[in-house]
A and B are shown apart, each in its own frame.
Chain A
Amino acid sequence: MKVVECKDLTKVYGRSNALNNLSFSIEENKITGLIGRNGAGKTTLLKIMAGFLHHSSGEIKVFEETPFNNLKVSANSIFIDNEMSFPPALSLKELLITAGSFYPYWDQKLADRLFDYFSFNPNIRHGNLSKGMKSTFNMIVGLAARCPLTIFDEPTSGMDSGVRKDFYRAVLKDYLAHPRSIILSSHLVEEVEDLLEDILLIKEGEKCLHMPVEDLKEYAVGISGKTAIVDEVLSGKDIIFEQSIGTDSTYVVIKKDGSQKELEKAEESGLELTAVSIDNLCLYLTSKTTGGIDHVFS
């Protein structure tokens, strides 16, 4: 069964489109990373999935139902971000108990253990926590709720690096013990790529690509060498990224399209082939121009 299915999903804010004809589907029990630059529409997409926002046109189905104002979707999904709001009258401990009374698959033991591990004071109020502590607490709620669809929107914002690592580890461990669909948005691809199975890359509200992380590692190749030779070898190729190094060298990223021979030929003619990290590839794919920041200063 498909957990999330979008067809030509569009969301209009005023005159600009936050999402533009987005179509994709997410299979169940996968950890998907939603990657994109600032303002690409990640949060908008996730909020539509969680039923917080209306979409303008197209179709979205979560568990085969339209998510907006849907109790079934609400019960089986949880949306975690750092703007989650909890009533100031309840202490952290009471909030966990309340969450437990709502979510049918809630694991109170896990919640308590994580709560103690991150040494929260049970009597403190959510509003008095620091930004990183809020994110950590929200993460505990998100994990312990064990919802079939768990959505983390920039979950690690404000966390220090120790807690971030703990968080990724906790997600992975709990996912292995209790498989479910997890969608995690982030722009720190490097940190999450080991955790993810699939990557959904969006750019300016449109889908850039959606594929398993393993495939993405093989998606492109970096070529560097003398500009003249690079230009010759790569004429007519689909160039993802280009950067000049020094006076007469160039670094180019191109899409691998199976022509292994051509690559070998390039290597023979003195060019250096390198793998492209997923982090960089995502940056290159979503940058608005091919020249990068250098163009501004040239």
Chain B
Amino acid sequence: MYLAEVNAWDIVKKQYQYKLQSYMGVFTSLIVIQIIAILFSFNGTGMSGGGSSTFSYSLNYYSGSMILIFTMIWGLITAIIITSKAYRYDDYSFITNRGTTHTSNLLFLLSASIFAGITVLLCTHFIQVLYIYSVNSESVMFEQLTIIQNLKGISGTILYIFFFTSIGYFIGSLIQISRLFIFVLPVLFFGAVIADGLGKEQSMIPHVIKFFGNESSFGLFILKILAASALMYGFAIIISKKLEVRP
């Protein structure tokens, strides 16, 4: 009898390919969500106006932030779904162990984030084009970005989405440990927000947003997001260590 020696990295590559093929539904849902987000964005994200007796003006702001928010939520939910039983069992029909499953999941979510990040940028441009063609307006102004700024924007977008997938992966892993977390996590989250709001000054949410959202140094921003994502994935891997595969 000859036992096959397998290399973990080879299996990861095969699983990654297998996942790209079999998780196609994830990308379909992304497109649907982004179309919905475009429809929402089309109303504009802000508006101001003014005038006097002789003239009046109104200013509408349009941005892709709605699309980004929708896509981040998509990333969160996608990651939760991937940790669910149905998806785990699919892995165990072929060669795998926990390590390769986590690694290929991470690679898949990273690729999905990159794809989603690029489509967010494209959607943003799409809104601009759509707006020019459909709305009869006196003047349209765009923020002109240099290539560097564009690249920074796109990598920032990807990192935000990836960060949300890591949160989702952590939440999903918790739920796999115990179904109770389906109830506990929302209670904890909303409870904390409400408890936070009872105080004089709201601090938690604004602080978190400020910590990740208002970083002016791009290098530091990358560091923060990657460290936070690594922490989330690390926790997920640790807590799923004891999990049995198929009861």
In the assembly, what is the distance between CA of A75 and CA of B12, in Å? 13
Cβ-Cβ contact count across A and B, 8 Å cutoff: 92
With contact pairs A54-B244, A85-B90 given, residues A69 and B21 touching in the complex (Cβ less than 8 Å): no
Interface SS majority for chain A: loop
Task: Report B-chain residues with C-beta under 8 Å of the C-beta of A175.
Answer: none
> Number of contact residues on A: which range applies?
35 or more
Task: Report A-chain residues with C-beta under 8 Å of the C-beta of B97.
Answer: 51, 69-71, 74
A187: interface (CB < 8 Å): no
In the assembly, what is the distance between CA of A148 and CA of B24, in Å? 33
Identify A98's interface contact among B18, B25, B87, CB under 8 A. Answer: B18
Identify B14's interface contact among A1, A51, A101, A148, CB under 8 A. Answer: A101
B157 nearest CB across to chain A (Å):
27
Contacting pair B95 A71 (CB below 8 A): yes
Task: Report B-chain residues with C-beta under 8 Å of the C-beta of A243.
Answer: none
Task: Report A-chain residues with C-beta under 8 Å of the C-beta of B25.
Answer: 89
Task: Report A-chain residues with C-beta under 8 Å of the C-beta of B8.
Answer: 71
Identify B5's interface contact among A53, A72, A102, A103, CB under 8 A. Answer: A72
In the assembly, what is the distance between CA of A90 and CA of B22, in Å? 6
Interface residues of A in 25-66 (CB under 8 A from B): 28-29, 47, 51-54, 63
Contacting pair B95 A86 (CB below 8 A): no
A28 nearest CB across to chain B (Å):
5
With contact pairs A54-B244, A76-B3, A104-B6 given, residues A87 and B22 touching in the complex (Cβ less than 8 Å): yes
Task: Report B-chain residues with C-beta under 8 Å of the C-beta of A180.
Answer: 1
A102 nearest CB across to chain B (Å):
4
Contacting pair A86 B93 (CB below 8 A): yes
B29: interface (CB < 8 Å): no
Chain A contact residues, CB within 8 Å of chain B? 1, 3, 28-29, 47, 51-54, 63, 69-72, 74-76, 83-87, 89-90, 94, 98-99, 101-105, 141, 148, 180-181
Beyond contacts A52-B244, A52-B246, A180-B1: 9 other A-B pairs, Cβ-Cβ < 8 A, are A54-B242, A71-B6, A72-B3, A75-B95, A85-B89, A89-B22, A89-B23, A101-B14, A104-B4
- Can you show 13 pairs from A to B with CB atoms below 8 A apart? A47-B246, A52-B246, A54-B242, A54-B244, A69-B98, A69-B99, A70-B97, A71-B96, A71-B100, A75-B4, A75-B11, A105-B4, A141-B93
